[in-house]
Amino acid sequence: MCGFISIASRSRAYSPEVLNRALLSIKHRGPDESGIWQNAAGTVSFAHTRLSIIDLSTGQQPLTNHDSSIVAVVNGEFYDYKRIRKEAEATGYRFKTQSDSEILIALYERYGVQCLKHLRGEFAFVLWDQRNQWVFAARDYFGVKPLFYTVQNDTIYFASEVKAFLPLGLRLRWDEDSFYQTIHIMPLPDTTLFKDVKQISPAHYLIQSLYSSTPHIQSYWDFDYPKEGERPALANEQDAIEGFREQLIEAVRLRLEADVPVASYLSGGLDSCSLLGIAQSISKKPVSSFILTFTDQDYNEAIQAEEMAKHVGSPFQAVSITQSQIADAMNDAIWHAERFFFNGHGVAKFYLSEAVRKAGFKVVLTGEGSDEIFGGYAHFRQDQILYAKDSDPAQRQELLDTLIRNNKISHGLLLASDSNADPYNIRSQLGYVPSWMQGFSNQGLQVDEILNTDFKNRLAQRNPVHYLLSTLDIAGQVTGREKLDQSLYLWSKVTLPYYLLTILGDRMEMAHSIEGRVPFLDHKLVEYVVKLPAHMKIRGMTEKYTLREAAKPFITRTIYERQKHPFLAPPAMSDQSDPRMKQFIQDTLRSSQAIPFLNQESVLKLLDSAITGTQETKMNLDILLMILASACIMQKQFGLT
């Protein structure tokens, strides 16, 4: 796990001193050592800062082949690398290090860009091919690891975080389109909030020749949910469960491979408990676990998590989070995230990662991705109930009522209250309205009230949902699939990489030099799960049915029987016991320089409503005010205009 900067230019050269300053801005990603490689003219530069996890003594980067005609920097992990090394060595390839990262060069020399078919893991990399005079860059299957780029004249720049562009002399500005989409909670997969700065989408690669003005970008993998009527027949349910169990155990086993100890995040949910239980069954030593706790019991899972830790003999540490602590770290968390927050859960994850690092760990297992492949969130169950074929209307309504009653903290954003609402005419595009898009759309409607006249007029005809859908392969990957699979796909292409794997993943972990490993996002495991029918994912009111049955030998009865509890911090505006975060938002929005796209008078009215309004009003405003406060902080930190 690391950070890097790569530059390829026909004319512009950078000194090692400037590159080192840029590396310093992302030193948190790799505090153990750093390295720089440049061609003779200084027009091609690769700089790397390393978090040493595998091959602690000789795994330095940048990596080169025997004659330095190929140079690469890698962030992340390639799993099953020992087998690939042996195969390459059998053909005569000679490695310089014992690291997993070096297999990239061996595979590229043999297969070219098709090397991606042989990689398994969480990764982002940039490779320079001197013979072809091009840069080859790629990002992992699901977007676990970040990879940003910008093209300025005849130069292309890459970095693990956008802030690394600043010491290189690049100016950062707001991107109007991206701001509009993001504040409506409909971000585009390849954009950032910074003008002219893009991110490579998950499961995509980029080729940029020095003699071309624009990069070529290509997808190399997708979910490929079966079309209705084309799904393989499920011969035996128990065999399918056991097959998944084998896949999950293998994914965990691969992610325990490290030359340093591996810990585990732990909540009271099925995902993290399954990972800890399996990891502990494999490991010869106790696997330490780290638990977040909140004082508001509607958001606290400590009791269930501690029961699980004791059940498997895991040494655990509880990390208590208050609204005051969230306020204290909000600025730092946003600096690392380079994104808007809509809840304090990202800051809570920031503190959790800090505790892991202080305890002496560099690597942690984390449960992201399970909800995306098994339909864990309440809105997926809502879709399954609404669109299940041949369902009885009375029974359907009873299930919906039970779902809403049992998912108090999901109301609004994660659970649509009116299944008939379609404010952005999504049905015309998809033939139905995914519940998560409906919830996000209803939240986004509040935005139009606070946009200033000029900005609103420029984008008056914009439908943020239609704009988002136009960037996705609807015809190839959505049309003709079951409704649940469609919803899972769309969520996994948008919210998973842009928000969950960033604000609840890499950026909060790497802020404290922690590598998060995500077994549920092993692409071979996902390829197995997408072929399973809907009833193997959601059965009645039971979500993640196959995972629940597969993990049963490794978890407590409490966890086996417990329903999904989304990871959220208590809303800031409704917490009466600790008003610090509420005051932080008020102070930030009242004292900061106005965002150029917003009507400041309307923003102040929102703040007044958050003080005098009902509890329901405060809850509804919480997400929007958190986004606006994030925007103010980002504008100040990055000098955006």
pLDDT higher than threshold 70 for residue 578 = yes
Average pLDDT over residues 309-322: 97
Q: Which residues of 161-185 are buried (b: 16+ CB within 10 A; e: fewer)?
A: bbbbbbbbebebebbeebbbbbbbb
- The 8-class DSSP code of residue 502 comes to I
Average pLDDT over residues 28-52: 97
Task: Report pLDDT digits (tens) over 144-166.
Answer: 999 999 999 999 999 999 999 99
> Which residue bears the tokens 């954009």?
191
Task: Report pLDDT digits (tens) over 397-424.
Answer: 888 888 888 887 777 677 777 777 899 9
Return phi, psi of residue 48, to 5°.
-145, 135
In this predicted model, which residue has the larger pLDDT, 23 or 212?
A: 23
State in words which class domain 2-172+197-219 has: alpha beta
pLDDT for res 393: 79
Contact 196, 111 (CB under 8 A): no
Task: Report pLDDT digits (tens) over 427-450.
Answer: 999 999 999 999 898 888 889 889
Taking CA atoms, 287 is separated from 313, 318, 365, in Å, by 8, 15, 10
3-state secondary structure of 395: helix
pLDDT higher than threshold 80 for residue 493 = yes
Band of the pLDDT at 615, cuts 50, 70, 90? low
Instruction: State the Cα–Cα distance between residues 278 and 555, nearest whole angstrom.
Output: 9
Instruction: State the Cα–Cα distance between residues 502 and 334, nearest whole angstrom.
Output: 11
Average pLDDT over residues 522-543: 95
Residue 214, classified by CB atoms within 10 Å of its CB into exposed (0-12), middle (13-18) or buried (19+), is exposed
pLDDT higher than threshold 70 for residue 118 = yes
Instruction: State the Cα–Cα distance between residues 622 and 626, nearest whole angstrom.
Output: 6
pLDDT for res 325: 97
Task: Report pLDDT digits (tens) over 264-312.
Answer: 999 999 999 999 999 999 999 999 999 999 988 889 999 999 999 999 9
Average pLDDT over residues 571-581: 84
pLDDT higher than threshold 80 for residue 616 = no
Q: How many CB atoms lie within 10 A of CB 328?
A: 16
Tokens of 76: 């992340």
pLDDT for res 603: 95
Whole-number percent of the chain with pLDDT over 90: 83
pLDDT for res 612: 77
Average pLDDT over residues 222-244: 94
Side chain identity at residue 140, one-letter code: D
pLDDT for res 617: 67
pLDDT higher than threshold 80 for residue 613 = no
Average pLDDT of every residue of the chain: 94
What CATH code would you report for 237-373+496-561?
3.40.50.620
Q: Can you give the pTM of this predicted structure? A: 0.96
Task: Report pLDDT digits (tens) over 618-637.
Answer: 777 889 999 999 999 999 99
pLDDT for res 577: 78
pLDDT for res 512: 98
CA 13-15-19 angle, 5° bins: 105
Band of the pLDDT at 29, cuts 50, 70, 90? very high
CA dihedral 29→34→35→41, nearest 10 degrees, is: 70
pLDDT for res 403: 85
pLDDT for res 397: 84
DSSP 260-303: S-EEEEE-SSHHHHHHHHHHHHH-SS---EEEEEESSTTS--HH
pLDDT for res 484: 96
Q: How many CB atoms lie within 10 A of CB 112?
A: 12
